[in-house]
């Protein structure tokens, strides 16, 4: 099922949270699963915000446009909740947290719309004329990037790409974005975040760090993220069942999108042992597709 797609898509389902102040970088560093203190001008970060039990409350693509500023791109339906939650921990830190969504444009670039000189390594970043272009994981062998710029910055010129096709590409890339439908459902490794640059095991403590580390180093992880295809609609938060047992779900749909040829594709997080069994969502059979990146065996 190889599909080609290219163009530019406004990412209306995402928003931007801004942390600014003398302590902003250190504060964000202390709250998320990735290292923002050592983040340089040529890279962005994939990161998760977890509760004390290691369950993801939000996921971000973060960048540091200035020494006192961090921008975090996340699912818009979680932004207000995340802003309130993070604000509880600011205390006396010199850090102001705001919803900066109205100040920025967010575009998805795919195929020929991705600049030729953008490094292909995921989370590599370029800054030019006020705009930031971040390399994402490819989908169906098509390059993909996130473009973030102030609202008055001229957008790049390329054919339009519809949002459904962009979201399908997100699914096929296998890197899940946490939305309200799956709030606090997954430890980062259940979404393969340690294998796609979303977790640093060398940085200091953050909420849920002990659980995340234990899942990694004590062999307690029993769930992983997979990419699946179905002939009927799928939606985030739906339970996944193995054939013959409709009582105990073996997983959950993390995000889903219609495919260009008419089927549906999704990222599901489920029990590793169930991956070899026939699976379904509400009676709709699932076909397991190859994971588009290797899982890291050694961190």
> Closest Cα to residue 134, out of 16, 231, 21, 31?
16
- Max CA distance (Å), the chain: 57
Indicate whether 1 belongs to any domain: no
pLDDT computed for residue 1 by the predictor: 47
Same domain for 131 and 253?
A: no
Tokens of 130: 């006020």
**Residues 148, 234 share a domain:** no
Q: What is the pLDDT along the chain (299 residues), one digit of tens a residue?
A: 456 789 999 999 999 999 999 999 999 999 999 999 999 999 999 999 999 999 999 999 999 999 999 999 999 999 999 999 999 999 999 999 999 999 999 999 999 999 999 999 999 999 999 999 999 999 999 999 999 999 999 999 999 999 999 999 999 999 999 999 999 999 999 999 999 999 999 988 999 999 998 877 666 688 999 999 999 999 999 999 998 888 899 999 999 999 998 999 999 999 999 999 999 999 999 999 999 999 987 55
CATH number at residue 237: 2.40.30.160
Given 161, 193, 224, the domain boundary residue is: 161
pLDDT the model gives residue 298:
58
Q: What six digits make up the tokens of 259?
A: 């495919």
- One domain, residues 78 and 129: yes
Q: How many domains does the chain have?
A: 2
b/e per residue, 166-186, with b = 16+ CB within 10 A? bbbbbbbbbbbbbbebbbebb
Considering the domain architecture, whether residues 22 and 149 belong to the same structural domain is answered as yes
pLDDT for the residue numbered 226: 98
End position of a domain, from candidates 131, 161, 191:
161
Closest by alpha carbon to 200, among 137, 123, 144? 123
- 206 and 137 share one domain: no
Claim to verify: residue 149 and residue 238 sit in the same structural domain: no
The dihedral of CA 120, 121, 126, 132: what is its sign? Answer: positive
Q: Are residues 139 and 229 in the same domain?
A: no
Assigned token pair, 285: 């059979």
Which domain does 190 fall in, by range? 180-288
Contact yes or no for 113/6 (Cβ under 8 A): yes
| 3-class SS of residue 73 | strand
> Has residue 297 been placed in a domain?
no
User: Taking Cα atoms as reference points, which of 204, 209, 211 lies closest to residue 27?
Assistant: 204
pTM for the model: 0.95
Q: Are residues 108 and 204 in the same domain?
A: no
Within 13 A of 56's CA, how many CA atoms are on the CB side?
A: 30
- What is the spatial distance between Cα 68 and Cα 79, in angstroms, rounded to a whole number? 21
C-beta of residue 16 within 8 angstroms of C-beta of residue 103: yes
Does one domain contain both 154 and 190?
no
Residues 149 and 271 in one domain: no
Asked if 33 and 199 touch (Cβ cutoff 8 Å), the reply is yes
157 and 189 belong to one structural domain: no
CA-CA distances (angstroms) from residue 151 to 71, 95, 105, 194?
A: 15, 23, 5, 33
pLDDT value of residue 46: 98
Burial class of residue 191, CB neighbours in 10 A (0-12, 13-18, 19+): buried
Distances (CA, A) of 74 to 3, 178, 200, 284: 27, 8, 19, 30
Domain annotation covers residue 22:
yes
Residue 250: inside a domain, yes or no?
yes
Q: Check whether residue 20 and residue 88 sit in a common domain.
A: yes
């Amino acid at each position: 099922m190889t599909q080609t797609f290219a163009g530019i898509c406004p990412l209306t389902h995402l928003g931007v949270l801004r942390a600014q102040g003398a302590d902003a970088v250190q504060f964000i560093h202390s709250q998320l699963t990735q290292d923002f203190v050592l983040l340089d001008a040529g890279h962005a970060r994939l990161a998760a915000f977890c509760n004390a039990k290691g369950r993801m409350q939000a996921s971000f693509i973060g960048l540091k446009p200035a020494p006192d500023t961090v921008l975090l791109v996340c699912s818009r339906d979680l932004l207000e909740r995340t802003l309130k939650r993070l604000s509880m921990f600011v205390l006396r830190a010199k850090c102001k947290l705001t919803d900066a969504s109205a100040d920025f444009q967010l575009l998805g670039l795919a195929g020929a719309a991705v600049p030729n000189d953008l490094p292909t390594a995921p989370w590599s970043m370029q800054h030019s004329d006020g705009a930031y272009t971040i390399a994402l994981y490819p989908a169906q062998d098509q390059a993909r990037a996130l473009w973030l710029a102030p609202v008055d910055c001229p957008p790049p010129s390329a054919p339009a790409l519809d949002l459904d096709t962009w979201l399908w590409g997100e699914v096929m890339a296998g890197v899940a974005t946490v939305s309200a439908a799956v709030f606090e459902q997954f430890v980062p490794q259940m979404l393969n975040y340690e294998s796609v640059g979303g977790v640093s095991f060398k940085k200091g403590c953050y909420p849920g760090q002990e659980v995340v580390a234990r899942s990694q180093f004590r062999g307690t992880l029993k769930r992983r993220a997979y990419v699946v295809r179905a002939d009927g609609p799928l939606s985030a938060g739906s339970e996944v069942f193995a054939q013959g047992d409709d009582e105990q779900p073996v997983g959950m749909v993390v995000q889903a999108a219609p495919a260009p040829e008419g089927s549906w594709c999704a990222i599901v997080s489920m029990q590793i042992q169930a991956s070899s069994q026939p699976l379904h969502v509400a009676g709709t059979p699932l076909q397991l597709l190859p994971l588009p990146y290797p899982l890291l065996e050694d961190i």
